[in-house]
Amino acid sequence: MKLPAAFITKYQNLLGDQAAAFFAAFDEPVEKGFRINPNKPVTPAMRAKMTDPISYSGIGYYGRVNGNALEHLAGAVYSQEPSAMTVGEVAKPELGERVLDLCAAPGGKTTHLLSYLKQTGLLVTNEINPKRVTALGDNVERYGARNAVITNETPDHLAKALPGFFDRILVDAPCSGEGMFRKDPDAMQYWHADYPAECAARQREILTATVKMLRPGGHLIYSTCTFAPEEDEQMMAWLLATYPEFELEPIEKVAGMVDAKPEWADGNPELKKAARLFPHLMRGEGHFIAKLVYRSDAKVKNLRPVRDELKPDQRKLWEKAQKQLSLPDFDGLALQVHGDQLYGVPALMPMTRKLKIFRPGIQLGTFKKNRLEPSYALALASDDLALPKLAIDHDQWEKYVHGETFALTAAGTNGFTVLTCDALPVGFGKVVGQTVKNFFPKGLRFLATDEKTQL
C-alpha cells in the first residue's frame, strides 16, 4: 500500500525500530470480525461460524458475516472489525444505566452497548450527520432495542438539554482515521500532515460538551481509530489538564494491546492506563481507547422524565392491540404519538424541547382507522415477549422478505403474528386461514436467494 510520505516520516520518527513492522502491516489482509447479539437465539449457521473466538470479548469472533443474511437482518449478528470491539468491552455498561453514545453511526458500538444493557436503563444514541443517522436507526431496530432514543444533534445542543444526566458516555470520536487505511484506502485521500491537528480541534469541542453531560462519578470512554498522538494521548493529556476532576482508569492489555505512550504527549505516566491497538501487534485494524471516571462533586438538577401522552381513543386502540397481541404493560416506556405512529419512549428519558429526535423510542405501531397495526420494530423486539409467534422455514422467509404472500400447510390462528425463522423474529404477518399476508416493510424488501443470503 502506498502510504503518504509525511505519514511515513511521522511514524518512522515516533515508532523507531517498530516502524518497519507497522508499515508492513498495511500490506497484510484486513482482519474481519463479528459479534453475536446475546439477547437473540444462536442459529445453526451462526454456530458454524463461531469457530475463532476473540479472547477479550465473550460475544466476538474473527470471521466474516453477510449483511443480507437472515441473522444480520434479524439483529442476531453485527459485523465489526476486532479492534473496534474492544471499545464496547471497555465501555461495558451496567444494567439500568443511563448511557450516551455521542458519535454513534452506523451503530457498531451502539449495538455492542445494547447487548450489555439488555433492555434496561436508557441508551441515547446520537449522530450529528442526518444522512448517517438512518443507518443507525436501522441497526438499533434490528437489535430489537426498547431502551434507545436516537437523536440527530450537535454535542452542544445535547449538553444544553441533558446536563449532568448520564452515568456513562462513549465518545467514539470523528478522527483522521489512520486505522482505516488498510480497510478503506480511500480514507488516505483526506489525510495530510495537519489533518490530525484539525481533527483534534473538533475533538476538544466535542469533549467540552461531553463533560457537561456526565454525572459526578460517571464514566467517560474516549476512542479513535487513528494512531495520531494529537488525537489520542495528547487529547487525554489536554482533558486531564483542563478538567482535573477526571482520572484515568487502567485498561487491561490483552491480545497484543499495549500501554498508551506518555512520551507522545506531556509525559504524564497516568496516560499509560489508556490502550493502543496496533495492527502489527494484534489482529485488528488499530484503535486508541481511554476510560476515565469523573470525580466531580458538582450538584446536578433532576430532569423531569417523559410521561404518557395518549388521547382516550388512542389509549383504547392501544389496549385492544395489547389484548390481541398479549403485549405487556411496558412499565419502562411512556406512550407517545407522533403523527400516526405510536412510540414507547424509555421512561428514563427526560422531557426535552428543541432537540432533533430521529426516533423517540421503539415504534410500537401505526394508528389506522379503528385499529393499531403493530410495527416491524415491535416484532424485532419481541424475543422476550409472549406475542403470538409462527415459525417459518427459509423458503418462506425468502418469500416474506420479497414482499410475497405465502401459504401454510395447515390453517393457523387468524390475526397478526410474529414470524420467526430459526427462532429469530423477522417481522409481522397476518394469518388468514392458510395464508400469511405480508407486513414486511416495503422499503426493506429484496429478492433473496440462497447464495445471496448465506451467512
Ligand X SMILES: C[S@@+](CC[C@H](N)C(=O)[O-])C[C@H]1O[C@@H](n2cnc3c(N)ncnc32)[C@H](O)[C@@H]1O
The residues assigned a catalytic role are 225
Q: What burial letters (b/e) apply to 81-91, b meaning 16+ CB within 10 Å?
A: bbbbbbbbbbb
- 384 annotated ligand binder: no
- Residue 426 phi/psi, 5-degree rounding, is -120, -10
- State in angstroms the smallest separation of the CB of 45 from ligand X: 24
Contact 350, 303 (CB under 8 A): yes
Nearer to ligand X, 134 or 314 (CB): 134
Give the E-state strand segments of 148-200 in sequence order: 148-151, 166-172
- 410 annotated ligand binder: no
Nearest-angstrom CA–CA distance, 286 and 294: 27
- State in angstroms the smallest separation of the CB of 131 from ligand X: 9
Helices (H) and strands (E) counted in the chain, each on its own, are 13, 22
Cis upstream peptide for 106 (omega within 30°): yes
Nearest-angstrom CA–CA distance, 1 and 279: 14
Selected from 75, 108, 137, 179, the binder of ligand X by CB under 6 A is 108
Nearest to 218, CA basis, from 294, 299, 165:
294
The DSSP bridge partners found for residue 437 are 430
Selected from 41, 63, 106, 305, the binder of ligand X by CB under 6 A is 106
Nearer to ligand X, 125 or 417 (CB): 125
- State in angstroms the smallest separation of the CB of 52 from ligand X: 22
- 104 annotated ligand binder: yes
Pick out residues in 263-292 that bind ligand X (CB under 6 A). none
Pick out residues in 202-221 that bind ligand X (CB under 6 A). 202, 206
Is residue 172 at the binding interface for ligand X, with CB under 6 A as the rule?
Answer: yes
Grid look-up 470480525 returns 33
- 106 annotated ligand binder: yes
Nearer to ligand X, 73 or 173 (CB): 173
Nearest-angstrom CA–CA distance, 19 and 73: 41
Nearer to ligand X, 279 or 425 (CB): 279
- State in angstroms the smallest separation of the CB of 119 from ligand X: 20
Helix, strand, or coil here: 39?
coil
Helix, strand, or coil here: 19?
helix
- 121 annotated ligand binder: no
Nearest-angstrom CA–CA distance, 174 and 16: 27
- State in angstroms the smallest separation of the CB of 371 from ligand X: 37
The DSSP bridge partners found for residue 390 are 419
Nearer to ligand X, 175 or 419 (CB): 175
Pick out residues in 407-426 that bind ligand X (CB under 6 A). none
Largest CA distance in the chain: 73
Nearer to ligand X, 132 or 212 (CB): 132
Nearest-angstrom CA–CA distance, 109 and 3: 28
- State in angstroms the smallest separation of the CB of 103 from ligand X: 3
- Residue 66 phi/psi, 5-degree rounding, is -95, 130
- 108 annotated ligand binder: yes
Rg (CA), the chain: 23
- 179 annotated ligand binder: no
Pick out residues in 63-102 that bind ligand X (CB under 6 A). 102
Selected from 10, 109, 276, 359, the binder of ligand X by CB under 6 A is 109
Selected from 107, 229, 360, 361, the binder of ligand X by CB under 6 A is 107
Pick out residues in 120-139 that bind ligand X (CB under 6 A). 127-129, 132
Size of the site for ligand X (CB under 6 A): 17
Nearest-angstrom CA–CA distance, 135 and 141: 10
Pick out residues in 337-366 that bind ligand X (CB under 6 A). none
Selected from 174, 216, 403, 412, the binder of ligand X by CB under 6 A is 174
Q: Which grid coordinates are listed for 78? A: 453485527
Contact 216, 168 (CB under 8 A): no
First to last CA, the chain: 30
- State in angstroms the smallest separation of the CB of 99 from ligand X: 13
Nearer to ligand X, 108 or 374 (CB): 108
Only one of the segments 107-115, 270-278, 388-396, 434-442 lies at the binding site for ligand X (rule: CB under 6 A); that segment is 107-115
Which residues are documented as binding site for S-adenosyl-L-methionine? Answer: 103-109, 127, 172
Residues that bind ligand X (CB under 6 A): 102-109, 127-129, 132, 155, 172, 174, 202, 206
Which residues are documented as binding site? Answer: 103-109, 127, 172
